[in-house]
């Protein structure tokens, strides 16, 4: 399994507050990597750095390197739109656009210049099938996406991210706003998506990390404490702080 993202000595400050401290890790492709740790420990900040979403925050300073597909994403010549097409994002709360189901999924491909109706139809159907929601929405493609349930909206947002054919999918607590049934459907979906995509997910739910991820990274106070194979990290953590966190002594 080859590596798709390599992070070296990544530091990030919001003005004078350091949110990430010399984080280094290598993420294998077509795998699921879970980022765990208590609130405010840097998980979401780290995730958003991988497709330069933090560029949008005023007063951010970043040092270190994130290499995706052989290129440092902070190089001046990097096209950020192209980076975000390849490294897609799904947020904590489902955020469909207030437009039809079809137009939600077609939005990205249209932005990237696909206007041919047949191609758009094919792209939309494939993305909705890949996000395991086609059968539920195929008869309501022209209806407003905001009429879907929370779990359906989240799968629609996953379809929207998949429509531009990314290689990597970043997920920021994708199930935290959902009920248990929708959560297990998203987990099943993520496991299927791993065949074709690299997935990096932030989760507060330790059982979820243990259930779905291949690799787990434990963050604490902006520092990457431990990163490794999920089964090993949960059964034989090498750092006392990891052990304390996963056994519930703090968090």
239-248: b or e for each residue (b if 16 or more CB lie within 10 Å)? eebbbebbee
Question: 144 near 96, Cβ under 8 Å?
Answer: no
φ, ψ of residue 167 to 5 degrees: the values are -100, -30
pLDDT digits (tens, 9 = 90+) for 149-158: 999 999 999 9
Question: 245 near 37, Cβ under 8 Å?
Answer: yes
Question: 27 near 3, Cβ under 8 Å?
Answer: yes
pLDDT value of position 85: 93
Question: 63 near 49, Cβ under 8 Å?
Answer: no
Tokens of 11: 């530091």
Q: In the CATH scheme, what is the code of domain 3-246? A: 3.40.50.300
**The model's pTM:** 0.94
Question: 213 near 34, Cβ under 8 Å?
Answer: yes
> What sign does the dihedral 243-244-248-251 (CA atoms) show?
negative
pLDDT digits (tens, 9 = 90+) for 175-232: 998 999 999 999 999 999 999 999 999 998 999 999 999 999 999 999 999 999 999 9
pLDDT value of position 177: 87
pLDDT tens for the chain, residues 1 to 251: 689 999 999 999 999 999 999 999 999 999 999 999 999 999 999 999 999 999 889 999 999 999 998 999 999 999 999 999 999 999 999 999 999 999 999 999 999 899 999 999 999 999 999 999 999 999 999 999 999 999 999 999 999 999 999 999 999 999 998 999 999 999 999 999 999 999 999 998 999 999 999 999 999 999 999 999 999 999 999 999 999 999 988 76
Which residues are CB-neighbours of 94 under 8 A, at least 6 positions away? 150, 153, 154, 156, 157, 177
Helices vs. strands in the chain: H and E counts, helices first:
10, 10
Separation between Cα atoms, residue 95 and residue 148, nearest integer Å: 11
């Amino acid at each position: 399994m080859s590596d798709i993202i390599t992070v070296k000595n990544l530091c990030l400050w919001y003005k004078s507050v350091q949110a990430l401290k010399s984080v280094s890790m290598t993420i294998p492709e077509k795998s699921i990597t879970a980022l765990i740790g208590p609130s405010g420990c840097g998980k979401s900040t780290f995730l958003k750095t991988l497709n330069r979403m933090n560029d949008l925050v005023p007063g951010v300073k970043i040092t270190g390197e994130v290499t995706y597909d052989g290129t440092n994403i902070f190089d001046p010549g990097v096209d950020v739109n192209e980076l975000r097409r390849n490294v897609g994002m799904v947020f904590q709360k489902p955020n469909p656009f207030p437009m039809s189901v079809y137009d939600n999924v077609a939005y990205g491909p249209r932005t990237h210049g696909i206007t041919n109706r047949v191609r758009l139809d094919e792209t939309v159907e494939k993305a909705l099938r890949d996000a395991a929601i086609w059968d539920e929405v195929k008869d309501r493609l022209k209806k407003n996406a905001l009429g879907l349930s929370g779990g359906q909206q989240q799968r629609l947002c996953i379809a929207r991210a998949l429509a531009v054919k990314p290689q990597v999918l970043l997920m920021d607590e994708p199930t935290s706003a959902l009920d248990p049934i929708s959560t297990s459907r998203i987990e099943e979906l993520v496991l299927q998506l791993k065949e074709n995509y690299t997935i990096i997910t932030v989760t507060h739910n330790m059982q979820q990390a243990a259930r779905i991820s291949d690799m787990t990274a434990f963050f604490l106070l902006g520092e990457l404490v431990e990163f490794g194979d999920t089964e090993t990290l949960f059964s034989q953590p090498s750092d006392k702080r990891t052990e304390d966190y996963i056994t519930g002594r703090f968090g």
